[in-house]
Structure 1
Amino acid sequence: MNTSYDVKFWDIRRNASSKTPSYVTRWKVGPKEKSKTFRTKALAENFVSDLRQAAKRGEAFDLGTGLPESMAMAADTGPTFFEFAQSYMASRWVHTAARTRETMTYALLSLVPALVRDVPGRPDDEDLRAVLREYAFLPGKRRGELRPEHKVASGWLEAASLPLGDLAEPAVIRMALDAIALRFDGEPAAANTVRRKRAVLHHMMESAVELKKLSANPLHAVKWKPPKAVGAVDPRTVISPAQARALLDAVKLVGRTRGARMTAMFACMYYAALRPEEAAGLRRQNCDLPADGWGLITLERARPQANKRWTDSGETHDERGLKHRAKDDTREIPIPPVLVAVLRQHIDSHDTAKDGRLFRTSKGRPFSSSAYSAVWREARRLTFTAEQVASPLAARPYDLRHAAVSLWLNAGVPPTEVAQRAGHGVDVLLRVYAKCIDGQRAQVNGQISKALET
């Protein structure tokens, strides 16, 4: 390493040639002038401050990179954020479900293009996201041939990505937080989306600390609060039993056979509070359907939907264990006679798949979320008034599950039993459905009135 102690610094200046605001730091090591561009003035000032402090400590500066010895060594040995993101995804792939892989990637699509230097020739953001989504974050055996525009985008990211160590700077970690707070179109992201992306970033930083790539999690050094998310079910989404029956009748009328094939699936969401992925994985052998009286569903597996690039099977649905439970754990749900009758009729009319699955298309494929959501929208249109269609009332198929749990709680079923049937913890159940528990206001008002009269 050729070094020099002859170092001179110039003032930071605004980069007038850049499309977006950026700032150029300039300094001289021996006879060689150096410069580096940053997206914010604060980042530029921090960088120059580090250079000045190294010079005061008497460090030699490398003539090639223009950096003091300590910074040059860190730059040579540390990964970029892009490189670390790739290794992070690779290490997590085997241990996570398809939907989790999709969530992690979605967060990184915001982070990786934001944590870059102002290198000339930046590709369009959509090309950058495409190369990350379709190539960089997939296992090697799943990667296809890069298209020419994606080769350019990949090369630019490799050259422009900030060193992972730069995230230790508060200004840089704030850039990351600002990136996850926005949608790709620049509008503010939904609160739950921001929280999920921050959770991914937090876990990445913890992994970097564990691997000794960072000395501490930089998120702990900044004061930043994610937007407040609504954690409780909106009672305006909850339908009555009469409305549920009307909607299920309307589902049968949608399409030539599609609605009829989905009716029992929606009935399971309402009468048994199944999640959509649990209904997708329901088999005949999971159902005890007596001729009279209550039956029993014993859930074993779920089939959540994700983009096929993230699933183990390469299909849109992977089989997984039940949510919030051990791998081979089951959940028993007693079902009322009305659901027993619906399931028996469904099996008589449509039979089952070879593996016993109850709900599938006429060609044996699982229903996609877009398909059953479209049927549900049409059923709402056939059932509700224009005002109700425009309201949040049962706006999504998942709201059938909310209606079921709300009904059980309001019927006086003990929360422990409701939690067991719904697959929730009791604390989560009461927090999520707190606004949907009716029938207590009049009683409480009477108690308050009585107290005021004394």
Structure 2
Amino acid sequence: MSDTTDGAERRPRGSARPGYSLDVKLWKITKTGRKTRPYRLRWVVGGRVHGDTFTTFGLAESRRSELWQAMKRGDAFSVETGQPESEVRAAEEAAATQAPVRWFEFCREYVAGRWPASAAKSREGMADSLAAVALAMVQRGDGLPPDEELRLALRWGVVPASREAEVPVGLKAAYDWLSTSDRPVTDLLKPEVFRDVQYRLSFRLDGKPAAGDTYRRRRRALNTALEHAVDAGLLATNPLQRVRGKRLGVNDRVDPRVLVNAVQGRQLLTAVSYVGSWHRKRGRRLVAFYAVMYYAALRPAEAVGLRLADCELPDPPEDGTPPPWGVLTLQETRPVAGKQWTDSGERHDRRGLKAREVTEDRPVPIPPVLVAILRRHISEHGTAKDGRLFSNERGDVVGTSSYWRVWEEAREFALPPDRAASPLAGRPYDLRHTCITRWLNAGVPIAEVARRVGNSPEVIHRRYHGCIDGHEQAANDKIAKSLEEEGDTA
């Protein structure tokens, strides 16, 4: 049985107008394999495939029925958009009776609606993605401000608090251009405009291809915004649904070159203590900060939010027995987002653990060596007023720039020039990678590693597959033993 239902070829009293066709084939509803919008409907107009996805089978069936009725009436379909001519005319008549919503105002209203329920980093990512698209949604002409200023102006302008604020002097020209020379949202349906949108999603301002993660983040954010525009009646269809997503390989595997061995790890932690003056203790304050990444695989944002109340640090035994392990019970992260994106006006947002419910915690057993390091840190530096273990000299939250600068200086102290110029431990985050790899190579099951570090087993397997030593040889040995038992050896 065919998986399509072909519309009968029409022979109308008049010919279809240019850009429209009566050659329409309607396909059956299929599954997309995705959790969101799992049902897909596709149809062919003049040899060109169109489609849309739906959250329920009923919605997909309803849309299919609408298209089928239009075919029965003898409606011509737009080759470009796939819509029946009656729907296109209705949309054109509706648009003619009201002023079109323009891109900048749409972005402001859309972000304002998403703002209360979004985390600070999500707000920033949403604004950044819309700002990239804005470069395709402005009229080009004499006096056009630089692209970087246009992006910064939109990022500033979509923040709800900016509506009552005076435009910064450095962004005034770009803000005025965005406000007066932006395109209507409906221009996204024009092929030449949407091609430029796709380019802006895929490339940086310097013309180099954007990283795969950047492209995917931008595309997801734009798709959600365009779905909102469709629901609000601003667009007849989501143009992103008409094009196949750019297939970029997920290149997020950990590079084995960034991993440190045991000697290098101890040397780096020691070198941290020599950074800065002895009086200010700039580096000494952060030795334990890097240690929780190296021995317990904490993310930097989790280490920033770690509190004394989260730590179970048993006293060392006095009878000569092996020292006990401790536990860090993680409950809060303090990701850096920027003052304009947080509700508190602070640079660091307060969030629950990544990919978990707000009230859910994550206990992480820690070895005696880390217990001793944390006990020394508390004895020497105390805690911040709110109970956090790590703070700067003023008692404030440790900033990203601060722990990056200390780490860069420590690498110069600890590593020979050729190693310092290599990717080895190039970022503080590489200490977490080293810890996870150590656990995997020690034979800790992937599921247990995933539980301790707050990832899924699938992510652990994908990202660290190339860092696990000895597994290939172990597999070969098992196969060889099996062949010996079967008597198939040469």
TM-score of Structure 1 vs Structure 2, range by shorter chain = 0.7 to 0.9
Matched, 1:439 2:470: yes
Which amino acid in the other structure matches residue 438 of structure 2?
L
Per-residue Cα deviation, 1:220-273 (whole angstroms, up to 9, x for no partner): 212341532312111221112222111111111111211100000000011111
Which amino acid in the other structure matches residue 124 of structure 2?
E
Asked whether the equivalents of residues 117 and 161 of structure 1 are also in contact (C-alpha less than 8 Å), the reply is yes
Match of 1:85 among 87, 90, 107: 107
| Partner residue in 2 for 1:406 | 437
| Partner residue in 2 for 1:177 | 198
Distance 1:70 1:216, change over 3 A: closer
Give, in angstroms, the shift of residue 397 of structure 1.
Answer: 0.3
Match of 1:288 among 312, 332, 352: 312
Asked whether the equivalents of residues 108 and 160 of structure 2 are also in contact (C-alpha less than 8 Å), the reply is no
Match of 1:247 among 268, 273, 289: 268
Q: Per the alignment, in what secondary structure is the counterpart of residue 433 of structure 1? A: helix
Give, in angstroms, the shift of residue 151 of structure 1.
Answer: 4.1
In structure 2, how many angstroms separate the alpha carbons of the residues matched to 1:191 and 1:120? 34
Asked whether the equivalents of residues 104 and 154 of structure 2 are also in contact (C-alpha less than 8 Å), the reply is no
Q: Per the alignment, in what secondary structure is the counterpart of residue 277 of structure 1? A: helix
**Where does structure 1 lack aligned partners over 5 or more consecutive residues?**
1-49, 51-56, 58-67
Matched, 1:102 2:124: yes
Q: Per the alignment, in what secondary structure is the counterpart of residue 366 of structure 1? A: coil
Q: How does 1:23-422 map to 2 (within 5 A)?
A: 71=92, 73-74=94-95, 76-134=98-156, 136-140=157-161, 143-147=164-168, 150-256=171-277, 257-292=281-316, 293-422=324-453
Distance 1:147 1:360, change over 3 A: closer
Give, in angstroms, the shift of residue 276 of structure 1.
Answer: 0.4
In structure 2, how many angstroms separate the alpha carbons of the residues matched to 1:150 and 1:242? 50
Q: Where do 4+ consecutive residues of structure 1 move more than 4 Å? A: 68-73, 447-452
In structure 2, how many angstroms separate the alpha carbons of the residues matched to 1:147 and 1:374? 30
Asked whether the equivalents of residues 170 and 222 of structure 1 are also in contact (C-alpha less than 8 Å), the reply is no
In structure 1, how many angstroms separate the alpha carbons of the residues matched to 2:444 and 2:368? 18
Give, in angstroms, the shift of residue 73 of structure 1.
Answer: 4.6
Asked whether the equivalents of residues 169 and 218 of structure 1 are also in contact (C-alpha less than 8 Å), the reply is no
Which amino acid in the other structure matches residue 361 of structure 2?
T
Per the normalisation by structure 1, the TM-score is 0.80
Asked whether the equivalents of residues 298 and 332 of structure 1 are also in contact (C-alpha less than 8 Å), the reply is yes
Moved more, 341-350 or 374-383: 374-383
Which amino acid in the other structure matches residue 288 of structure 1?
E
Which amino acid in the other structure matches residue 207 of structure 2?
G
Q: Per the alignment, in what secondary structure is the counterpart of residue 383 of structure 2? A: coil
Per-residue Cα deviation, 1:113-162 (whole angstroms, up to 9, x for no partner): 2222335532232332232223x111136753124664443332233222
| Partner residue in 2 for 1:430 | 461
Q: How many residues align?
A: 388
Asked whether the equivalents of residues 170 and 221 of structure 1 are also in contact (C-alpha less than 8 Å), the reply is no
In structure 2, how many angstroms separate the alpha carbons of the residues matched to 1:260 and 1:195? 39
**Where does structure 2 lack aligned partners over 5 or more consecutive residues?**
1-77, 79-84, 317-323
| Partner residue in 2 for 1:14 | none
Per-residue Cα deviation, 1:273-322 (whole angstroms, up to 9, x for no partner): 10001000011111010013101111111111121111111111121111
Give, in angstroms, the shift of residue 414 of structure 1.
Answer: 1.4
What's the C-alpha RMSD, in Å, of the aligned pairs?
2.2
Distance 1:143 1:264, change over 3 A: farther
Moved more, 413-422 or 324-333: 413-422
Per the normalisation by structure 2, the TM-score is 0.74
Q: Per the alignment, in what secondary structure is the counterpart of residue 263 of structure 1? A: helix
In structure 2, how many angstroms separate the alpha carbons of the residues matched to 1:102 and 1:219? 22
Asked whether the equivalents of residues 170 and 218 of structure 1 are also in contact (C-alpha less than 8 Å), the reply is no
